[in-house]
């Protein structure tokens, strides 16, 4: 079994992005800019945003953290997003989720201009991805593809099983894997005989949100196992895969933390550079 070291792979890709950013600055005379909007004081969201801002600075982007109180109105957020859409210094706009419950998340996200939607969540960007010609795709699934490629194993023709059908992980993940010519199965909470399906996976991707959900008896010998889950438990951060058990049988596996997580921010940087027009 080999551990896929998301931290090391992420560092390598960030160094490449840093070099590309310098090329961009020399060519355009300006730095790429990312604006991150956060509303409320969810500690996990604050940490994610701080990490994103820090990562931007490290590769040479301008980054702006725009904070609003928990009771911010939809109107105030709307005005801010429209202002950022029209601001030429800003290439990417990201609204940290979840938003406070009085706000309509779908509506707020829909305000972000498609060419600045660096999370790749908009109907336009998801539509292009579904058509197999993405401009900006969701960061976490993009990171997973990089991790899979880092193993040197071919994705083509493999049976990839994804547990989870969310718009931010499961669905875009399936579309990216299809583009790599995998045979893709999506499982979800209503799937019957889940382990019978997961046991046929050459590549198993868990994006469920339930700690240690995937056990050894759900995994085929020598499968590549990617754990997207981030669950805050009394024992600390835990993935959706029971790492101790599953690592006995997998050929490759990602740890939590240090697997998919670092790649997500790295792909956000990549998407920002794409949005800036590298």
The site for ligand NAD (CB under 6 A) is made up of 140, 163-166, 168-170, 187-189, 191, 194, 207-210, 228-231, 260-261, 264
DSSP of 225-265, one letter per residue? EEE---EEETTEEE-SB-HHHHTTT-SEE--SSSSHHHHHH
In whole angstroms, what is the distance from residue 2 CA to residue 133 CA?
A: 32
Residue 41 annotated among the catalytic residues of the structure: no
Active site annotation includes 96: yes
Question: Which residue carries 């590309």 as its tokens?
Answer: 20
Nearest to 223 by CA among 266, 162, 140: 162
**Cβ proximity to ligand NAD, 80 vs 138, nearer residue:** 138
Length of the chain: 278
Of 52, 116, 220, 270, which one is the catalytic site residue?
52
Q: What are phi and psi of 202, to 5 degrees?
A: -80, -35
Do residues 210 and 238 touch, judged by C-beta distance below 8 A?
Answer: no
The nearer residue to ligand NAD, 31 or 186, going by C-beta atoms, is: 186
Measure the CA–CA gap between 167 and 185, rounded to whole angstroms.
15
Give the nearer residue to ligand NAD in terms of CB position, either 228 or 275. 228
The least CB distance from residue 113 to ligand NAD, in Å, is 23
Q: Which two tokens stand for residue 275?
A: 């949005």
Looking at the Cβ atoms of 87 and 231, the one nearer to ligand NAD is 231
Q: Could you tell me the smallest distance in angstroms from the CB atom of residue 220 to ligand NAD?
A: 17
Compute the least distance from the CB of residue 71 to ligand NAD, in Å. 25
- Active-site hit among 31, 80, 91, 96: 96
Please, what is the minimum distance in Å from the beta carbon of residue 83 to ligand NAD? 28
CA 30 from chain centre, in angstroms, equals 26
Instruction: Name which of 100 and 257 has its Cβ closer to ligand NAD.
Output: 257
Shortest Å, Cβ 214 to ligand NAD: 10
User: Is 119 known to be catalytic?
Assistant: yes
Query: If 0-12 CB within 10 Å is exposed, 13-18 middle and 19+ buried, where does residue 41 land?
Result: exposed
The catalytic site residues sit at: 52, 96, 119
């Amino acid at each position: 079994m080999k551990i896929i070291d998301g931290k090391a792979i992420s560092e390598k890709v960030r160094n490449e992005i840093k070099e590309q950013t310098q090329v961009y600055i020399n060519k355009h005379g300006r730095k790429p800019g990312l604006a991150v909007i956060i509303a409320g004081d969810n500690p996990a969201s604050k940490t994610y945003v701080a990490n994103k801002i820090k990562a931007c600075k490290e590769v040479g982007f301008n980054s702006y953290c725009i904070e609003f109180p928990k009771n911010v109105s939809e109107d105030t957020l709307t005005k801010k997003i429209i202002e950022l859409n029209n601001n030429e210094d800003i290439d990417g706009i990201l609204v940290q989720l979840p938003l406070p419950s009085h706000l309509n998340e779908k509506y707020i996200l829909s305000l972000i201009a498609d060419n600045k939607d660096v999370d790749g969540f908009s109907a336009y960007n998801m539509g292009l991805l579904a058509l197999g010609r993405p401009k900006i795709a969701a960061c976490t699934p993009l990171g997973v593809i990089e991790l899979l490629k880092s193993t040197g194993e071919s994705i083509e023709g493999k049976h990839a099983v994804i547990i989870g059908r969310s718009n931010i992980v499961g669905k875009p993940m399936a579309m990216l894997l299809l583009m790599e010519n995998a045979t893709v199965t999506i499982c979800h909470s209503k799937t019957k005989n889940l382990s019978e399906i997961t046991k046929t996976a050459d590549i198993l991707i868990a994006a469920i949100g339930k700690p240690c959900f995937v056990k050894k008896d759900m995994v085929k010998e020598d499968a590549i196992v990617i754990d997207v889950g981030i669950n805050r438990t009394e024992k600390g951060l835990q993935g959706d895969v029971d790492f101790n058990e599953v690592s006995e049988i997998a050929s490759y596996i990602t740890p939590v933390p240090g697997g998919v997580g670092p790649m997500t921010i790295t792909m956000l940087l990549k998407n920002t550079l794409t949005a800036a027009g590298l």
